[in-house]
Amino acid sequence: MTSTSAQSTNVAFPSTEAGKMVTEGKMNTSLVMEDSPEVLHQRLGQLNQLRKSRHFCDVILQVGSSEIHAHRSVLACASPYFFELFTSDDDRKTAHEGRLMYKLSSGFERDSVERLVNYVYTGCMEVPDQLVKTVFIAARKLKMETVSRACGEHLVAHLTPESCLSVRAINGIASNAALVNRVDEYIQQVSDLVQVTRDALGIPKIQVSVIHRTHDEAAITGRALCNLVLEWVKKQMVEEDLHLDLMKEKKHMLYLNIDNSLHDCSDIQSGDLNDSDMVQDYKKMSRKLSQTNIKMRRKSTTPQPVKPRLMLYSRSISDKDDSEQDSDWKLIAYAQVSESSWVAVVTLKGSVTVMSVQQKMGSSSPTHTPISSRPASVEKVDYYTVIPHMSSPKCATGTGNLNGHLLVCGGYDRGECLRTVEDYNPEMNAWTIQPPMHQGRGRFDLTVLNGKAYAIGGCDGSKELSTVEVLEENAKKWSSVAPLPLARSNTGVCSLDGKVFCIGGWNGQYGIKQCDMYTPETDIWQTIASLHIGRYQAGVAAYKGMVYAIGGCDSWNCLNSVEVYDSRLDTWRFAAPMTTPRRGCGAEVFKGKLYVMGGSDGTHSLCTTEIYDLETNTWMPGPSMTTCRANVGVAVVNGKLYAVGGFSGKNFLNSIEYLDPATDEWTNFTPKPEVIRNGIDNYTKRSGYRNEENSQAVESDGTQGSDHEDAVEHEAVANGHHVAENGCNGLPNGVHSIATNGH
């Protein structure tokens, strides 16, 4: 091939042999031209010169009081933001001398936008170090990913103790998890974090004082206290609708309750033992600020999950895994300022904030939370423990009450549908492996009828199932019964009047309306009236002689509708809808009411519960679970409502929790087996605890070994002369815990 050059343009002439193409008897030759990089660069320069001289410009970007002239087609090619802006018709667009003018938001700075526009026309950009941050912000808003990525890397590569907090506080940097983690690691390694936080300009600061009992001070770790204060601040901002600006206005004074919840000292009742002059002055100041801020009001929102109440005098809170923290509410780093004060760098609703935490000593802590009026118990026994986890994380299990045990079958763990079966014995607080099912079975439901557990339908990982397996009490293997008329997964199952009902489900294509009823005596499935709405992942339960199909999904949308089946009439009717659409929820009858727990609203896994009132045909909110759970298994065992496994939105879960009927709170603590067997009084005597009036300490018989000490790491602990009120620490009513400092 021969080539010639004219003004750096390559012109290629095909050779006679190589270039021959015969089309309809005629020779066809092609001329191929390709500009060199020099010509392309020259053309960009000419285009930029046209912009500078305002030739053919058809758009004006208004940044503040400044104007930047450009060509829409050029900007749209380089920035998806500009493309969307120029193709939409909004109030930021006005005509000016035959050109369209767009007013950019106040978040842009002229110098940064000008540099980016120049980069679009030239392909080159040099940014002084002091402007990299503003260029990063502008590039991110303009969706110029290459530039924002380069600026972010530059900022992280050149971090200093003086700049690290301001870099972490940049609006938008949190969207790049890798960059954020590197900045957080740098902040954690800063040797003089105290000085860095003092010198930080433009970073919000919150001041908190925590009052607690004098002899508790040495037992509280800084990390634990900072985490607890962070959770309190989160509650104020999320549930009380307080803006960060309001939180900065005053120094907050809190007291540490013996159930390890923090409360504002303004809640202390007048005349209380703790209502000191200092507290009264604080209450007066709080009232003044409240009167001037009408925004300090309670917000009606979906409750956040309540974490199990754990004491600070162990590693339960202080060694909290950072990976479990919400990135929007995170303790990044902390340092001790003095013997009784700390400074912490946290994120509050994604905004980097400096939090100052100071301990103040008090003679005692209030013996109950502000909303309680019952006297505190004087029991001084640590007789509860944590419920152990299942053998593996899983969701969409079959769950039921078989012979007073919590039976958990199959499920899905992201990798496969499981055959495994295990049961939990509440009296022994232990899990036992049971005979596996014949095949892997996930996304199914289970019901127990006449001492037999029925595992119905589901999915084996590749196809929907029609098979049904049965496990009898104390049986060593599962047996098969008549299959479903239609293979399906994500069904809802319950038993009523000696029959087994299979409601709706998924057939691989859409939510189905078909419902079937099984009669054990004849081993026959019979198709009954269809649902009004095809739904899968619905919560199904028998309540007051009817079958309820609650929520679920109709193939596209999460549902809040509820249908009720009357077996006498073989008809479905609608009941009042739930307040929240949810699929993958659990439904169970508890304390004479119909409860619905967890699930997903299509965006997030839910922690909330709803309770149906049949008399008024209305739903009311119930207590929130400690963990959000979609595709959760539920069952009532020994008078407690259990929530099993599920998906949190990030992880498959191997934990379980239960709703205590006495306290109406969800918890994962349970009385120790020896307490259940022997009773409280006998356990107290055998454990060697003395119960003397005005005792300031609790003495043990010295038989506790390392196993007990390990267990204490996960248990709530209180000090000698103050113990929790009934229901505190998320424990069953009447269950309390106490141990001396040093455990």
Complete DSSP assignment for 619-647: EEEEPPPSS--BS-EEEEETTEEEEE--B
Per-residue pLDDT reduced to its tens digit, 420-437: 999 999 999 999 999 999
pLDDT at 45 over 70: yes
Q: Which residue shows structure tokens 């890798």?
A: 178
Lowest mean pLDDT among 40-49, 494-503, 610-619: 40-49
Helix 37-52 to helix 110-122 angle (10° resolution) is 140
Where is 67: in which H helix or E strand? Answer: strand 66-70
pLDDT for residue 616 is more than 60 = yes
Mean of the pLDDT values across residues 279-290? 64
pLDDT confidence of residue 393: 95
pLDDT value of residue 425: 96
Which tens digit of pLDDT belongs to each residue from 246-273?
Answer: 777 678 888 877 666 788 887 665 555 4
Query: What average pLDDT does this structure show over 195-199?
Result: 81
What pLDDT score does 10 carry? Answer: 56
Q: Indicate if the pLDDT at residue 229 is higher than 50.
A: yes
∠ CA 409-411-412, rounded to 5°: 160
Pairing status of strand 32-35 against strand 26-27: unpaired
Note the pLDDT tens digit of each residue in 443-483.
999 999 999 999 999 999 999 999 999 999 888 899 999 99
Predicted pLDDT of residue 142: 92
DSSP 408: E
pLDDT (tens digit per residue) in 441-452: 999 999 999 999
Q: Tokens 């089309």 map to which residue? A: 23
**What is the per-residue pLDDT for 153?**
93
**Amino acid identity, residue 115?**
R
700: pLDDT strictly greater than 70:
no
The pTM for the full model equals: 0.51
Least confident residue range of 8-17, 115-124, 674-683: 8-17
How much is the pLDDT for 366? Answer: 46
CA 353 remoteness from chain centre:
21
What pLDDT is stored for residue 583 in this prediction? 96
* 88-97, 202-211, 424-433: segment of lowest average pLDDT: 88-97
pLDDT in tens, 347-375: 998 889 999 998 876 644 444 434 333 33
What integer pLDDT is reported at residue 19 of this predicted model?
A: 43
Q: How many CB atoms are closer than 10 A to CB 179?
A: 19
pLDDT attached to residue 379: 35
pLDDT band at 398, cuts 50/70/90? very high
**pLDDT for position 4:** 38
According to the model, what pLDDT value does residue 325 have? 63
CA–CA separation, 223 and 219 (whole Å): 12
Say if residue 732's pLDDT is above 70.
Answer: no
Q: 101 has which bridge partners?
A: 60, 94
- Mean per-residue pLDDT over the chain, rounded: 79
Please report the domains of the chain, with CATH numbers, ordered by start residue: 2-35 (no CATH), 40-139 (3.30.710.10), 196-368 (no CATH), 395-667 (2.120.10.80), 671-730 (no CATH)
Token reading at 56: 């053919």
Task: Say if strands 524-528 and 515-519 run parallel, antiparallel, or are unpaired.
Answer: antiparallel
Percentage of residues in the chain with pLDDT exceeding 70? 73
Of 124-133, 540-549, 599-608, give the range with the top mean pLDDT: 540-549
Minimum mean pLDDT among 165-169, 178-182, 221-225, 517-521: which range? 221-225
Buried b (16+ CB within 10 A) or exposed e, 456-473: bbbbbeeebbbbbbbbee
Structure tokens at 396: 């969409």
Cα angle at 259 between 254 and 264, to 5 degrees?
20
Label residue 671 by pLDDT band (50, 70, 90): confident
Q: Looking at residue 512, what is its pLDDT?
A: 95
pLDDT at 317 over 60: no
CB under 8 Å to 507, separation ≥6 — which residues? 464, 486, 487, 488
Q: How far does CA 232 lie from the centroid of its chain?
A: 17
